Structure formats: C-alpha cells, structure tokens
Amino acid sequence: MSNTPNTSQSPAVEKEGPITRLLRATEIDARILGMAAALLVIWAGFDIYSRLFSTIGFDSDGLIFGGSFITPRNLWNLLNQTASIAIMSTGMLLLIVMRQLDLSIGSMLSTVAVAIGTLQVFRLAPALGEGNRAIWIIAVFGALALGSFMGWFNGVLVAYARIPAFIVTLGGLIAYGGLAWAIIRGETVAPMDSTFELLGGNVPQYSLGVFWSWVVAVVAISGIVYSIWNSRRQRQRFNFPLRPMWAEWFLGAAGSVMVGLLTWVVTIYPWAPNVIKQWATDHHITVPAGIEDKDGNAICMAGEQMVRCVHGYIVYTGYSIPFMIAVGVGLAMSFVATRTSFGRHIYATGGNPEAAELSGINTKKLTVKVFILMGFLVGIGSIITSARLNAATNSLGQSNELYVIAAVVIGGTSLSGGIGTVSGAMLGALLMQSLQSGMTLLNFESAFRDMVVGAVLVAAVFVDQLYRRSVK
C-alpha cells in the first residue's frame, strides 16, 4: 500500500488480461458487468431449456435459441413486471447505503393503493363524473403525497425519536397492513379510472409505439455520447488522466448497441390479434385481404370476415409506460446518488455516520429526507401496480419489501452501508424477476421457484464478497 504512481501508467498494466484491461480502461464497475453477464446466462438458459423441454409443443418467436424466453413478448412482459420493484429498489438502495432499512414498504404500497383506489372509484368518480380527466391526476398526486407522508412519518420516528429503523418499519409493516385492511375491509376496488389504468402498461394501445420508441432510443444514444464527451472535456479542463480513446469509443458503441437492441425487441412485439382487430374496427382502418392462418399475429379480411393471418395489418407495441417511468426513476436516482451533494451525503453517512455528522451534515434531516424519498417511490410503485392490475386490494404489494431488499442486495449493495449503486439494484430486480418469470413460464413448481430465488440471493452475496476480498 505504498504510494503508487499515476494509475494509468502503472507497470502492472502489462500483466493484465484483456478483460481486466478493458474494465480498467473503461472504468466499468466489474460488479455490474458480472450481473449483466449472469442475467444473459439466465436468459439463455431459460430459452434453451424451453426449446429442449417444451411439453406444449408450440412454435415460438424465439430470437436466438428458438425458445420461449428470449422472445419480444416475454422480454416486454419482463420489463413491465419488474418496473414497480425496480423503482422501489432505488429508494431502498439509498436507505441501505445510509445504514437504514424500510420493512414497511409492502404494507405502505397496499395502503396507498387502496386509498387512491377508493378515492377514485368511490369519491372522485361519483363527484366529477366517470372518466373525468382530473381523476387520474388527483389520484397520482394523492399517491405520491400519501407515500411521501408515510415515509416522512417513518423517518421522523427513526431520526428524531431515535427508534431503530428495523423496529419502526417492522411496526409499520404490521400497522400499515392493518390500515390498508381497515380502509377497504378486505374488499377489492375495481376497475380504476380508465386513464389511470394506462399508467400500468396493461393496455398495449397506449404504449409508445414504434416511432416514439425509436425517438426515445435516439435521445438515449445522444445522451450517452454527450455524457462521454462531456466527462472527457471536464477531465481535459483540469489536465487529469484521460481514458484511452478506444475505451471511449467502446463505451459509446456498447451503450448505443444495447439501447438499439432493446428498442428493436420492444418494437417487434405486436399487439395481440384481438386487440388489433378491436383497434381496426374502432378506427375504421381498412384491413388488407388475405387467407386465414391461426398462427399469424396480423389480421386480414377473408371475404367479409376479419381473421388472423401472417401478412396483413399489424401494430407493434414499443416501450411501455411503466418501463419508461422506471427508466426515468433510474436515471433520476442515479443522478441524485452520484451527482448531487444530497447523494454524496447519503453515501458518506453510510460510510461513517459520525464523520458525516462531524463534517457538518445534518444526518437527522438527511435520514428523514431519504425516508420521504422512499415513500415517494412507493407511491409510484403503488400507482403502477394498481393501474396494471386495474384493481386495488389490501393484499397488493404484501411482501414486496422482501423482494425489494433482495434486489438491492443482489445488486451488490453492502448491508453494512456506504456501498451500492442504483443500476446494480435495478439490475438485481430484473435478475430476480427473470428467475421468477422464467420458472413460471416453464411451469416449474412454485416451491422450486422459491428455493432457487432464495439460493440465488445468498449466492449473489457470497460471490460479491469473494470479489471484494480479491480486489482488496
């Protein structure tokens, strides 16, 4: 541990393997790369398995191995299914980074969901008239406000009453669960306001569609290129060591290819034929003539009858609203964590709470703020979950806290605080949902599913620790 000379000119470089060299030059977090690799292995595994052992015998739209996992439809579903947990995991990440925890988020989600559910169905709809545009806006703000308020309440008890977060939120887990039940007395409110429902992404007609999805892709790629260029310029300004040029190109290209691939996948997922049919009828669209083929995704006119066919009228889905919300939240939370003093203070507090306090950070206020943020994100989670289900009930969101914490931990976050990334947590959520969805897709028994997910959680932490030790 003596003073090493400038890292970029270290003599050790010559002995490095190509991967180490790539990681060092591009400054990519090896843990994120490892998780992305694990994710691809899992996907490929499911896809190949489904191809080999399919009991149902159907033809698939498999993109790579011909199985049923790596298909536009399944990947699109997967992104949608992950959204709520991924969004909440970013808040939990910050809490765990600052050595706190929130066990009450599942019950909070139920409470918020049933509160805004009853609000829109039993109060707003009768008062304003069903389908009024104000309903969904009030419901969304209500959810965010109620979530934030509950987070604030947790935070105040933790920071100012000095009750450990574990206790406060364990109490919350039980108490808010009761609250949710009391609001709705075990019933289900359904259906939600018809505009509110769109936020759940369960109505394919209101996804982004092909054009806007590619617009998003172009914006994203420009963003990647700009941020690489900007950080290079900043380093130049102060004469700091720069990344080698090839590494910059590599980063830009890899990022753009990934965005492009994902966009391609979601823009070749067609609406269900029934949905297309409905759309064509409603919008008086002339459907081309063709012959019936039950395996086709498009629709044709076979004489007077509208039928399924292979080449005909077809509409593709594109990015879903929950996915876009999740991406937005991910970017915002990454920004908060790495680019703002608020985030810096959170990490420092997690690293050494006493030092943070001595540095003049008001750690109590900070704690409350992070709990509020968590509550706010639970608000978003409850909007997406209840909109997606188009119903709200007190069991909604139960035990989500476990999945969210698992996602954060799989994402390489240290439970002892100070270490963790937003992208890691979100990837962790995606990884876990991939396992669950994949095993459900393959009709694995749910007991087996639970065993695998639990084992992966433990294994992920073990591998992470091995990695950390080897780096030290």
Partner 1 sequence: MKNIVKAVMLGALAATAMGGVANAAGKTIAVSWKTFQEERWKGDEATIKAVVEAAGDKYISSDAQGSAQKQAADIEGLIAQKPDVIMVVAFDADAILPSIKKISDAGIKSIAYDVQFEDPNALYITFDNVGVGRIMAKEVLKVKPEGNYAFIKGDKGDPNATFLFQGQLEVLKAQMDAGKIKNVCETFTDGWKPDNAQKNMEQCLTSTKNKVDAVLSENDGMASGVVAALKAQGMAGTVPVSGQDGDLAAINRVALGTQTVSVWKDTAQLGKAAANAAIALADGTAIDKIPGVAKFNGGKKKVEMNAILLAPTPITKDNIGDAIKAGHITKEQACAGVKDNAACK
Partner 2 sequence: MAKRTAKKTALKVVKKTPAKKASAPKASVAVARGTPLVEMKDISIAFGGIKAVDHASIDLYPGEVVGLLGHNGAGKSTLIKILSGAYKRDVGQIFVDGKEISITNPRDAKANGIETIYQTLALADNVDAAGNLYLGRELKTRLGTLDDVAMEDATRKVMFKLNPNFRRFKEPVSKLSGGQRQSVAIARAIHFNARILIMDEPTAALGPQETAQVGELIKQLKAEGIGIFLISHDLHDVFDLADRLVVMKNGKVVGTAYTKDVTHDEVLGMIIAGKCPKGAIPGPGALRDAA
Q: Which residues lie near partner 2 (CB under 8 A)? A: 1-7, 234-235, 237-238, 240, 335, 338-341, 344-345, 347-352, 354-362, 418-419
Residue 86 near which of partner 1, partner 2, none (CB within 5-8 Å, type-dependent): none
- Minimum CB distance to partner 2, residue 417 (Å): 8
Query: Using CB under 8 A, which of 190, 242, 332, 459 touches partner 1?
Result: 190
- Minimum CB distance to partner 2, residue 337 (Å): 11
- Minimum CB distance to partner 1, residue 442 (Å): 7
- Minimum CB distance to partner 1, residue 170 (Å): 18
| Strand bridging mode 305-309 / 298-302 | antiparallel
Residue 436 near which of partner 2, partner 1, none (CB within 5-8 Å, type-dependent): partner 1
Give the range of 216-224, 253-261, 358-366, 439-447 binding partner 1 by CB under 8 A.
439-447
Find residue 425's DSSP bridge partners: none
Nearer to partner 1, 74 or 413 (CB): 74
- Minimum CB distance to partner 1, residue 188 (Å): 4
- Minimum CB distance to partner 1, residue 37 (Å): 24
Binding track, positions 62-91, relative to partner 1; x by CB under 8 A:
------x--x-xx--x---x----------
Q: Is residue 148 within the footprint of partner 1 (CB under 8 A)?
A: no
Q: Which of 95, 87, 77 is nearest to 384 (CA)?
A: 87
- Minimum CB distance to partner 2, residue 373 (Å): 17
**Rounded Cα–Cα distance for residues 277 and 389 (Å):** 23
Q: Is residue 132 within the footprint of partner 1 (CB under 8 A)?
A: no
Contact set for partner 1, span 362-401 (CB under 8 A)? 385, 388-391, 393, 395-399
Contact set for partner 1, span 261-280 (CB under 8 A)? 271-278
Nearer to partner 2, 5 or 303 (CB): 5
Residue 399 near which of partner 2, partner 1, none (CB within 5-8 Å, type-dependent): partner 1
Residue 443 near which of partner 1, partner 2, none (CB within 5-8 Å, type-dependent): partner 1
Nearer to partner 1, 142 or 273 (CB): 273
Binding track, positions 200-239, relative to partner 1; x by CB under 8 A:
--xxx-----------------------------------
Residue 347 near which of partner 2, partner 1, none (CB within 5-8 Å, type-dependent): partner 2
- Residue found by looking up tokens 């620790």 in the block: 465
- Minimum CB distance to partner 2, residue 1 (Å): 5
Q: Which tokens hold the place of 189?
A: 């409110």
- Residue 374 CB-density burial (10 A; 0-12 exposed, 13-18 middle, 19+ buried): buried
Nearer to partner 1, 26 or 398 (CB): 398
To 10 degrees, what angle do helices 341-351 and 321-339 make? 70
Nearer to partner 2, 141 or 335 (CB): 335
- Residue 471 CB-density burial (10 A; 0-12 exposed, 13-18 middle, 19+ buried): exposed
**Rounded Cα–Cα distance for residues 248 and 271 (Å):** 38
Give the range of 245-253, 283-291, 367-375, 436-444 binding partner 1 by CB under 8 A.
436-444
Q: How would you write the chain as a 3-class SS string?
A: CCCCCCHHHCHHHHHCCHHHHHHHHHCCCHHHHHHHHHHHHHHHHHHHHHHHHCCCCCCCCCCCCCCCCCCHHHHHHHHHHHHHHHHHHHHHHHHHHCCCCCCCHHHHHHHHHHHHHHHHHHHHHHHHCCCCHHHHHHHHHHHHHHHHHHHHHHHHHHHCCCCCHHHHHHHHHHHHHHHHHHHHCCCEECCCCCCHHHHHCCCHHHCCHHHHHHHHHHHHHHHHHHHHHHHHHHHHHCCCCCCCHHHHHHHHHHHHHHHHHHHHHHHCCECCHHHHHHHHHHCCCCCCECCCCCCCCEEEEECCEEEEECCCECCECCCCHHHHHHHHHHHHHHHHHHHCHHHHHHHHHHHCHHHHHHCCCCHHHHHHHHHHHHHHHHHHHHHHHHHHHCCEECCCCCCHHHHHHHHHHHCCCCCCCCCCCHHHHHHHHHHHHHHHHHHHHCCCCHHHHHHHHHHHHHHHHHHHHHHHHHHC
Query: Using CB under 8 A, which of 15, 133, 162, 185 touches partner 1?
Result: 185
- Minimum CB distance to partner 1, residue 238 (Å): 49
Residue 143 near which of partner 2, partner 1, none (CB within 5-8 Å, type-dependent): none
Nearer to partner 1, 89 or 437 (CB): 437
Please report, as a single letter, which amino acid is at residue 431.
L
Nearer to partner 2, 252 or 351 (CB): 351
The binding site for partner 1 (CB under 8 A) comprises 50, 56, 58-60, 68, 71, 73-74, 77, 81, 185-191, 202-204, 271-278, 295, 385, 388-391, 393, 395-399, 436-437, 440-443, 445-447, 450
